[in-house]
Amino acid sequence: MKNLKSIKSIFAQILGTVFLFSCASWNNTEKGVAIGGGTGGAIGAVIGNKSGQAGKGAAIGAVVGGAAGAAIGIYMDKQAKKIEDEVKDAEVERVGESIKLTFDSGILFGFDSYSLTPEAQENIMKFAEILKEYPDTDLSIEGHTDNRGAYEYNLGLSERRAASVKNYLKMQGIDDTRMVTIGYSFDKPVATNETDEGRAKNRRVEILITANDELVEKAEKGEIEN
């Protein structure tokens, strides 16, 4: 009987996850309401795996549901909209309870460089001001390259580029403890490396913005101002 219950539970989680992600027309607040219990944990794990933070994603998904999930959804929706309106040359995407911000490396850096261009510095300054308005979030800053050149060289370049973004945000007053960096070299392409266009898409810096523990706690207590 226990085995049967376990199988049913796993099957329900899978169905819940498939159902939620199949509803592409839902807004993120509605998804937040739907996330809860076992289904939330499964969804959180999927989100976390996309970001390299599987444990954190699963933990948030398992804890947050109902009104709390909706409150976090609204908080993140507002932050994403402000970033989209005020930060140029950045692609903003809501992923579950998170925000994914993507910069083409050609916008941020010169060729084979990890020094931020003046335009990139201006954009990151604007981004930093928004982060100060939404302090209850953490950032994972990820560097990516195309597959030209040696793997280890590209790994170092991707790490240095991610670190450059973090350091500049820190200079603008963003708390160091909110940010982590990682370089992936060319391990995670989003397009083919067989064309110039594809390689350009793969040369990028992604910033994943997630709710921190304080935001989750505020949401559960109904303390988030909407």
CA angle 39, 42, 47 (to 5 degrees): 120
User: Bigger pLDDT: 10 or 194?
Assistant: 194
* Integer Cα distance of 102 and 207 in angstroms: 6
CA angle 72, 143, 180 (to 5 degrees): 50
* Angle formed by the axes of helices 66-86 and 118-133, nearest 10°: 150
For the segment 141-162, what is each residue's pLDDT rounded down to a tens digit?
999 999 999 999 999 999 999 9
**pLDDT for the residue numbered 43:** 36
User: Phi and psi at residue 203, in whole multiples of 5°?
Assistant: -80, 100
Q: Kindly indicate whether the domain formed by 41-221 is annotated with CATH number 3.30.1330.60.
A: yes
Residue 65: pLDDT band with limits 50, 70, 90:
low
Domain boundaries, the chain: 41-221
pLDDT higher than threshold 50 for residue 134:
yes
Other Cβ atoms less than 10 A from the Cβ of 147: the count is 16
